[in-house]
Amino acid sequence: MIESVSRRAFSSSSGTYNVRASELARERKLNIFNVTVQFLDDTQHSFQIEKKAKGNVLLEQVYQHLELVEKDYFGLQFTENGAPPSATNTEITRWLDSTKSVKKQVGANAQFWLAVRFYPPEPSRLAEEYTRYLLCLQLRKLLLDGRMNAPKNTALLLASFTVQAELGDYNVSEHPPNYLSDLCLLPKQNAEDERRIRELHKLHKGQLPADAEANFLEHAKRLDCYGVESHPAKDYNGKDIFIGVTSIGIVVFQNNIRVNTFSWSKIVKISFKKKQFFIQLKREPSESYDTVLGFNMRSGRAAKALWRCSVERHGFFRLRAPRRRALLAALGALAGLAAPTVPRTETMALEDARRSRSTNRSFVRRSSSRNRERSVSCASPAGMRGSRVTAHTEPPPRPAWTDVSRPVSEIHEGDFLERVLRIPLSYVDESESGSEGNETNECNGGVRIRLEAGSDGLFGFNVRGGGGAPVLVSRVASRTRLQLQEGDQVISINGQDVDEMTHEQVVQLIRNTRGVLTLVVKPNAVYAPEEPGSEEPEACFVPLCSEESRLSGDALEQSILLLGDGLASGNALKQYDTLLRRLPDEPTNVSKLPCNLNKNRYRDIAPYDSTRVILKNGPTGDYINASYINMEIPNSDLVLTYIATQGPLSTTVGDFWQMVWESESNLIVMLTVLTERGRTKCHQYWPKVGNIPLKATNSLTILTTSEQNHGHYVRREMTMKENTGACRNVTQLQYTAWPDHGVPEDQAAFISFTQLCSQLRKHAALIPTVVDPDEIEEERELDPPMIVHCSAGVGRTGALVLCEVALALAARRQPLYPLDLVRTMRAQRPMCIQNASQYKFVCESIQTAYTQGLTQPCSESGSN
């Protein structure tokens, strides 16, 4: 009884305290790890995660905070010293691994930077405008801090799009002459840069922020260094190089010039051992051995970082689904270092975006410049800086220079480019209406789509393929993306099947459509990355020959401006890539005869039968791997004549000198060295100074009388003698500054060399044809050809021909279109100018010659 009372007495004041639970709560609180993330618009936010949390936890918090949908392209960077990533801090910059502990990766330093990790090869395929905006911010940072290089013209154009996106339309009252001085647009920005950016800014009138950013990305993606994560290394000669990893493969840069590209389709295996990084290439049918390239990295960690970067990018861009880890990977040393995997691939990301067809959410644009009101002409809610914008309600991106005619009264100062560059764009539809009435429905396993043309007759998409290949949608304007997507296969157009149509017929059928265009397409969710240059050009680089354009200004200046725009946008190179390398209806049967096969240095480069040089007294027959190339200069009597030939083999030296003798040429231009990278490019077909004469054939001997080294070229004087006693002096110019797998560094030196070749051309005497003793007919000029060769006789050889012809046209104030000149050359010898880097170099050299006044007028009969 007493015990029971006692319990009741104490029950009203009893209590408990859970000591263990409080300790656990305290431990959980102490296990919180604070991290700071800086975003691409320079804002920061703090996140809390557990100390043992893995990287994917932090990544998901960041993506949710930003409401980032296309998150697969982004990642978090951190540095070992805590300093922001920069051009001088790249070696110690790391990516957060989603499968490992955050704390173990960064240690006590918990500062991260959001960055683009995988650069989409086609930014237009991104579903959300917000993603494209973040990509623009990333590229601007790279250009400003020197981690990404761009030619001057391209950098100025990109800066002008940045200004348009941030400040809106140019307005004289709102934008004083120095309105760009407060904006950081270019490294080492000066007053001349700001003047040129201002002139370009005037041309972008009407572009909303989304338009300007879309144009920014269209130009930036064509830069050699776009999407390249560079790693410093040394080649086998000990030269400093950078190895970059991109969506298309592994590239090698030297002096900021891409000197080699190894596409993923050509790579068999990548590996590293200690400080060395190895690339094993696919064996060619003609090879009996594997090609393995080795590069020396700065450290073992650097080699491993490059290897990881390569594996991850290959997995993201080339695989349809993430690669599964090998079962033995957990055994560590027994299985070797396990290759990293990506959680998702670009194919999966594109499929998700394809299925969702989501409309873009609104977001707030932030600018790195001071706040400015947009001009009154476009001060709409969707066009204000810092306002909420929605891409699917906006018109498609406008081109840098439009093709819309305007009254003369509306043309302002600085609009000269807009008036003269009348470029017919392939897909851009500038109409704000036209999306109404579009319909889609199922049809025979495909989807029927009806598109209305804009006011200019454009439907807002491009196509590629045809001629036996599937016809695919390759580029889509923003207003058309709700109906069409890149990769859709076109089955029929206006009820006509396109299976048997060529690409030209498909394009013409679309262009001839008036009103509504009816397509039946097969949606294609899988996008396979293409090799560079496989897509059709965005714009035609031959201006429309209208009377207005002829009267609007100097034709030469217009063509130079057009060329500059093409180089800045990258479309000039895309146009080049569409050219036929050889004419299919021009046979090369003579080169394939059994007696002539061994006279070809390269089996795939042979002269057309119709333009080949035929030897009259050749020591081994009438065949030599050489072609006549005649380039006519319009509005003059001048025809620049050439013999383009391969570097002589040891067995064809006699044929080469017999060709020189029979052609009556006095000038040989050699554009290669004898050996490059251990491979013979040309046999030494001349004797050294002081040596005995070379017995080239039974009737010809060659003597070298002098040799002078002028730095980037060597000049040799030679004498040819025939058994009959006849002799001729021949000059050989050997250009030595053209590196293997690259282009010369000095454009001015190449221009001066080309001009020297023109001056040394032998012009035939003016021979009057007498019909009547009292009357003399017009004199005719018959020039012997200049003999030009490199190794194959097509790449560098074509570059010199193109440069000399362009200088001759410019000297006579004739418009010049390099694309047409290359087409004319290839009609006479296949594959002239072998790659885009050679073509780009010559085009930039032509620009330099024109802007520096190196193209002086000359008489029609004089030397160039």
Q: Catalytic residues, which ones? A: 790
Q: Torsions phi, psi of 706, nearest 5?
A: -155, 160
Helix (H/G/I), strand (E/B), else coil: 666: coil
- d(CA 520, CA 494) in angstroms, rounded, equals 8
Could you tell me which residues come within 8 angstroms of residue 649 by beta carbon, excluding any fewer than 6 positions away? 599, 601, 683
- Residue appearing with tokens 């051992």: 273
Please state, in angstroms and rounded to a whole number, the distance separating the CA atoms of residues 274 and 768. 76
85/200 Cα distance (integer angstroms): 31
Pick from 649, 664, 685, 629: nearest CA to 804: 629
Tokens of 473: 């949608």
Residue closest to 845 by CA, chosen among 564, 580, 555: 564
The beta-carbon contacts of 288-294 under 8 Å, at least 24 apart in sequence, are 293/262, 294/236
Diameter of the chain by CA atoms?
A: 160
Name the 3-class secondary structure at 492.
Answer: strand
What one-character DSSP code corresponds to residue 581?
Answer: S
H or E stretch at 50: strand 44-50
b/e sequence 370-389, b meaning 16+ C-beta within 10 Å: eebebbeebeeebbbbebeb
Q: 62 is written with which tokens?
A: 């960041």
8-state DSSP, 286: T
**Helix runs in 512-666, H state only:** 547-551, 555-569, 571-577, 653-663
Q: Residue 165 burial by CB count (10 A; 0-12/13-18/19+): exposed, middle or buried?
A: buried
Please name the residues in contact with 170: beta carbons below 8 A apart, sequence gap of 6 or more. Answer: 198, 201, 202, 204, 205, 375
CA separation for the pair 429, 434 (Å, rounded) = 9
The Cα-based distances of 600 to 93, 595, 607, 623 in angstroms read 50, 11, 10, 10
Place of tokens 């070797």: 336
Please state, in angstroms and rounded to a whole number, the distance separating the CA atoms of residues 102 and 56: 9
C-alpha torsion 477→481→483→485, nearest 10: 100
**Cβ distance 485 to 468 under 8 Å?**
no
Q: Cα–Cα distance between 198 and 169 in angstroms, integer?
A: 11
Q: Give how far Cα 41 sits from Cα of 28, 76, 414, 506, 759, Å.
A: 33, 14, 32, 44, 56
DSSP annotation string for 685-741: -SPPTTSPPEE-SSSEEEEEEEEEE-SSEEEEEEEEEETTS-EEEEEEEEE----TT
Element (DSSP H or E) covering residue 642: strand 639-645
Conformational region of residue 842, where left means phi above 0, alpha means psi within -120 to 50, and beta covers everything else: alpha
Tell me which H or E stretch contains 141: helix 129-145
DSSP H helices, 287-444, are 300-318, 346-356, 416-420
